[in-house]
Amino acid sequence: MTRLTDAHGRQIRDLRISITDRCNFRCLYCLPETEEAANFYKRTSSGAPRPIQHEWKPRSHFLTYEEITRVVRVASGLGISKIRLTGGEPLLRRDVPRLVESIAALPGIEDLALTTNGFLFAKYAQALRDAGLRRVTFSLDSLETGNFKKMTGRDGLEELLGAIDLAQKLGMNPVKVNAVVIRGLNDHEVPAMAGFARKHGLVMRFIEFMPLDSGRAWQADHVVTGREILTQLREAFELEPLNDEHAAATAKRWRFREGAGEVGLIMPVSEPFCGQCNRIRMTSDGHVRTCLFSLQEHNLKKQMRDGAGDADLAKWLQAVVLHKEAGHRIGQAQFQQPDRTMSGIGG
């Protein structure tokens, strides 16, 4: 089997698929459109985020579930074995369990996961599990009700905590929880969130704040580095490193010496892991991105709707991946923030 390989010798095994760019949250690090977000940025060096006007696209603008399944089938024949469904908030799209079922049935797909803010999870959890979903990742940026609303733009903490508990009861394993850490906002909660993970046996990931917000308000001084986070964690817990992850893993991991669960650090700003990256992304409107921070996109939807066969799509994907970037340039003078936000790209 011919595998997807880029010019740097990296084999691509992970495809992250956004199925909608819509979201019911307005997170400060992605779509900072709330008064709380504006007030936070006003008291920092960057000023308030620029206003954003959303233009909702017609349904035909986005890939159908049949088109998404076809892409996965072709990609799996090229060595893609991990699929993650993202958004926006993926559960805002209708009938997601149907898509999960169609992807889960494809040969070669070894890992199928979903990233969600959890607000609607209870409504679809059993159907998703029955359809073949085995893993889920939740976004949890605060355990304090007021701070949660400030970061996400809505009161949704209780729903999210209930969703995490439900996912565990349904046997999804592991249940992962992501927190974007922003200086002066939720960095004081790092020990509490780690303690929550230890108590409930969760995989907790702390993520450095990246320049993917729609308001272009990101500044380097907002970033709490992974080393700073690790210092907090080691002051609060006895940790043991976990070294069994594959080379392309995004997180550096530790387990608690006492208690269940683990913590990890994703450090794209201070310690980029580009050299081993094995991921590509597909947006909800059918564009392939070879890096989270790509300035160029490749229109796969047009290829399909112009009548390309599966063999043609496979060759097209191979040509696109061959030009995958060596790495991003965050922190360098040449860095340019992509036009799309994280909500539009897919996490």
> pLDDT tens across 249-264, in order?
678 999 999 989 999 9
pLDDT category at 185 given cuts 50, 70, 90 is very high
Secondary structure element (H or E) that encloses residue 82, with its range: strand 82-86
Residue at 6 is within a domain: no
Task: Look at residue 218 in the predicted model and tell me its pLDDT.
Answer: 58
Comparing 72-86, 225-239, 262-276, 285-299, the range with the smallest average pLDDT is: 262-276
Is residue 1 domain-resident?
Answer: no
Q: Provide the number of structural domains found in the chain.
A: 1
Query: What average pLDDT does the chain have?
Result: 87
Residue 7, domain member (yes or no): no
Q: Which residue has the higher pLDDT, 247 or 31?
A: 31
174 within some domain: yes
Range of the domain at 123: 14-51+62-345
Q: How far is CA 253 from CA 149, 203, 229, in A?
A: 28, 9, 13
pLDDT of residue 112: 97
d(CA 218, CA 49): 9
Q: Residue 221: its pLDDT value, please? A: 80
102's CB contacts (< 8 A; 6+ apart) are 65, 66, 69
In the predicted structure, residue 51 carries a pLDDT above the cut 90: no
pLDDT bracket for residue 98 (50, 70, 90): very high
pLDDT at 311: 97
> Which of 36-40, 55-59, 79-83, 320-324 ranks highest by mean pLDDT?
79-83
Query: 194: domain CATH number?
Result: 3.20.20.70
Among 233-242, 256-265, 283-292, 320-329, where is mean pLDDT lowest?
320-329
Please state, in angstroms and rounded to a whole number, the distance separating the CA atoms of residues 290 and 23: 23
What band does 276 get if pLDDT is binned at 50, 70 and 90?
A: confident
Structure tokens at 71: 């892409």
Reported confidence tier of residue 214, pLDDT bands at 50, 70, 90: very low
**Would residue 122 count as lying in a domain?**
yes
pLDDT band at 325 (very low <50, low <70, confident <90, very high): confident
Residue 249 falls inside a structural domain = yes
Q: Is the peptide bond before 268 cis (omega within 30 degrees of 0)?
A: no
Output phi, psi for 181, to 5 deg: -100, 125
Going by pLDDT thresholds of 50, 70 and 90, the confidence category of residue 59 is confident
Task: Tell me the longest C-alpha to C-alpha distance in the chain.
Answer: 59
Q: What is the mean pLDDT of residues 140-154?
A: 95
Residue 147 predicted with pLDDT over 80: yes
In a domain, 263, yes or no: yes
- Position 2 in a domain: no
Q: pLDDT tens, 163-174?
A: 999 999 999 999
More confident position, 192 or 2: 192
What contacts 24+ positions apart, CB below 8 Å, involve 157-160?
159/118, 159/119, 159/121, 159/122, 160/117, 160/118, 160/119
**Selected residue with higher pLDDT from 50 and 213:** 50
Cβ contact 233:179 at 8 Å: no
